[in-house]
Structure 1
Amino acid sequence: MTTLDSDGADLDVACHLNVLLAAASSDLLPAALGALVEAGYRRVVLPPLDPQATDAAGLANLFAAHDVHPITIAGQAPGADVSSADPDERAAGAAMLRAALDLTVALRGDQMNGVPYGVFGHPARPTDPAAFERAAIEVGRVADEAHERGVMMTFEVLNRYETSVVNTAAQAMEFVALSGSEHLRIHLDTFHMAVEEADLAAAITAAAPRLGYLELGQSGRGMLSGGAVDIEALVRHAFDTGWTGRLGVEAFSRAVLSPGASDMLAIWRQPYVDGVGVARDAMRVIRRGFASSVEGRRAARLSRVGG
């Protein structure tokens, strides 16, 4: 197990850029990256980007200058869906994932998140087992290619209102098994888990063997310190399972997001207006959770002995 500082200052934590800014093209991006670094973040999750329209070299240099590592998001679209029974549509979906992987590498990133198993949006029906298996196999192939190129590929488990493919940690483990990939990793998000899981801590434990990214989002999409989800307790539990992977922070407000993105994500309110404040609050919650874990208490004891 990796030894961490007693205050959790060495934690590997990412913040979604949309907590602070509507787009990576904003002139305020350098200031936002500086604020995240000051708050203790190592990584930034980017909104979905068009590989053909993105200045990858320019962005990569900007991230390097701030010592921030980018995490990209891959997805699918109508007519390009790896779960489809149509071979051409399935191939188009796989091509979209590989284009996102190419962009990740060009940005010098080592992680690609997203919803690679189907089209994001309100589902009209359950996903049949054949579609589930088709998606898993295609995603697994890309995950193996990603691993060869130094990128960890994850897939996010969403709530029932955004997909019918993968809604729970148990389904995610089934998806990984069907993928045939040793490298595909699960992305859990506490916002979605609060809708679908009877026991959030137990879900983290169940996914832990293949968990690559634990994203922390509050029930109302605002500050992690206020809401129905006990984020601090879940961080403590994750470390107590022995998991030492990457953590992420996500919050959305109509005061920050573009109208189109707000509509797509059903963000009708303004849970906050100060994204930097949300990022700082989240880091405090995460560090308290770590400090109360077995590993955190051990690090504190070692720090006192060393002092």
Structure 2
Amino acid sequence: MTVDSQVRMALDVACHINVFARDASAELLPAALDAIVEAGYSRVVLPPLDPATTDATALARLLSDRGLTPITIAGGQSAGADVSSADAEERAAGAAMLRSVVDLTVALGGDQMNGVPYGPFGPPTGPTSPAAVERAAREVGAVADDAHELGVAMTFEVLNRYETSLMNTAAQAMAFVEASGSEHLRIHLDTFHMAIEEADISGAIRLALPKLAYLELGQSGRGALSAGVVDVADIVRCAVDDGYRGRWGVEAFSRSILSEPVADMLAIWREPYDDARVLAEDALQVIQRGWSASTVGRRAQRLSRNAPA
């Protein structure tokens, strides 16, 4: 067994669809899914989808035919449907939106829903009040408990200060889980955001470890994991040795691949990469280097070499 195949067996890695395609439209999705499989992934992160207009049966077939398992994304809350709102009807509408994405996840054959379920996504206009954080936590926790009953693990992504003021650090995420009252709500950390907000990325991962279910690997410039200020391989090494056994994600964005509204929303003004296949393969190589350098990886390789033929 090669080191590469050992890594694929040991680590569960997902690739974001926007690495390859601007959206999940019928004309773009099949080729993007094929490319993700060819690059070596068995799990794909889908963009936020509207459950009311998504043909779940057709999409589930496209995924299962390729042996791909989806991770869905709940988009940010909006005016009139916001779990952090002081208005009870708005909170209920926000929670209903989240539950509709949970139902879509089940229909697609997925078992995990990521996203920003706790409030609006976008440049904050000011700090979020503690009361709003508490309201969001309670609502999101209730949805997470319902999702668990349906076989779906619900995570929430910790974003940087330019995209939300509700929470920006692993410590805040742990406090949010505690405030939710849920035994099932889990954390999604992203090294791109952590490079902005955390003084010690590996230390922050260690802090969140009891509730961490998704560790997304994104480089400082949103391009190849091997080129940037974030030492992704070393983060993988530390996380594995610290005991992280959850799923991993690969995320990158390039303006020529994204739709213009999405590129604008994410502030992607240039082309951090121009070959999605090269980026996706490079990401697995970086992850492999980190795993191979870990105590866990070295032990697995040693045992493999000593195993009888």
Per the TM superposition, whether the score is higher than 0.5 is yes
The question of whether the paired residues in 2 share the 8 Å contact of 1:6 and 1:291 is answered with no
User: What is the CA distance between 1:277 and its match in structure 2?
Assistant: 1.3
Q: What number of residue pairs does the alignment pair up?
A: 304
Q: Partner residue of 1:9?
A: 8
Letter in 2 for 1:8: V
Pairing of 1:5-154 with structure 2 (within 5 A): 7-10=6-9, 11-75=11-75, 76-154=77-155
User: How far 1:51 sits from its partner (Å)?
Assistant: 0.8
| SS class of match (1:117) | coil
Shift of 1:34: 2.1
Deviation string 1:11-47 (CA, Å, 9 cap, x unpaired) is 2100000000001114232222222222221211111
Is the contact made by 1:33 and 1:66 (CA closer than 8 Å) also made in structure 2?
Answer: yes
CA distance in 2, matches of 1:58, 1:151: 20
Is the CA contact 1:48–1:74 (under 8 Å) kept in the aligned structure 2?
A: yes
Q: TM-score, normalised by structure 2?
A: 0.96
Give the alignment of 1:83-232 within 5 angstroms: 83-232=84-233
Contact 1:6 1:296 in 2 (8 A): no
CA contact (8 A) 1:6 1:303 kept: no
CA distance change for structure 1 residues 6 and 109 in 2, over 3 Å: closer, same or farther? closer
Q: Which residue identity does 2:170 align to in structure 1?
A: A
Deviations 1:215-267 (A, max 9, x none): 00000000000001000000111100111110000000101000010011111
- The whole-number CA distance in structure 2 between the counterparts of 1:32 and 1:125 is 38
SS of 1:8's equivalent in the other structure is helix
Cα separation, 1, equivalents of 2:29 and 2:95: 30
Partners of 2:50 and 2:35 lie apart in 1 by: 25
1: CA distance between counterparts of 2:51 and 2:5? Answer: 40
**Structure 2 CA distance for aligned equivalents of residues 258 and 69 of structure 1:** 24
Any stretches of 5+ residues in structure 2 without a counterpart? none
Are the counterparts in 1 of residues 4 and 288 from structure 2 also a CA contact under 8 Å? Answer: no
Residue 275 and residue 5 in structure 1: after superposition, are their counterparts in 2 closer, same or farther (change >3 A)?
closer
CA deviation profile, 1:151-196 (whole Å, cap 9, x unmatched): 0000000000000011000000000000011110000000000000
Q: SS at the partner of 1:183?
A: coil
Paired AA for residue 7 in structure 2? G
Partners in 1 of 2:58 and 2:301 — Cα distance? 41
Amino acid at match of 2:120: V
Secondary structure class of the residue paired with 1:225: coil
| Whole-angstrom CA distance in 2 between matches of 1:6 and 1:110 | 24
Give yes or no for contact 1:188–1:213 (8 Å, CA) kept in 2.
yes
Using the TM superposition, name which of 7-16 and 166-175 deviates more: 7-16
Cα distance in 1 between the residues matched to 2:116 and 2:231: 25
Which residue in the other structure is 1:238 paired with? 239
Query: Counterparts of 1:13 and 1:102 in 2: how far apart (Å)?
Result: 23
Which segments of structure 1 move beyond 3 Å, counting only runs of 4 or more? 4-7
Deviation at 1:293, TM superposition (A): 0.6
Q: Is the 8 A contact 1:146 1:152 kept in 2?
A: yes
* Contact 1:215-1:247 at 8 Å conserved across structures: yes
1:24 aligned partner, one-letter code: A
* Residue equivalent to 1:250: 251
Tell me which of the two structures has the higher relative contact order, counting C-alpha pairs closer than 8 angstroms and 6 or more residues apart: 1
Report which stretch shifted further, 261-270 or 6-15: 6-15
Determine the C-alpha separation between the residues in 1 that align with 2:61 and 2:303. 38
1:101 CA drift (Å)? 0.8
Task: For 2:111, give the aligned amino acid.
Answer: D
Distance 2:42 2:97 in 1: 27
Structure 1: state its 5+ residue gaps.
none
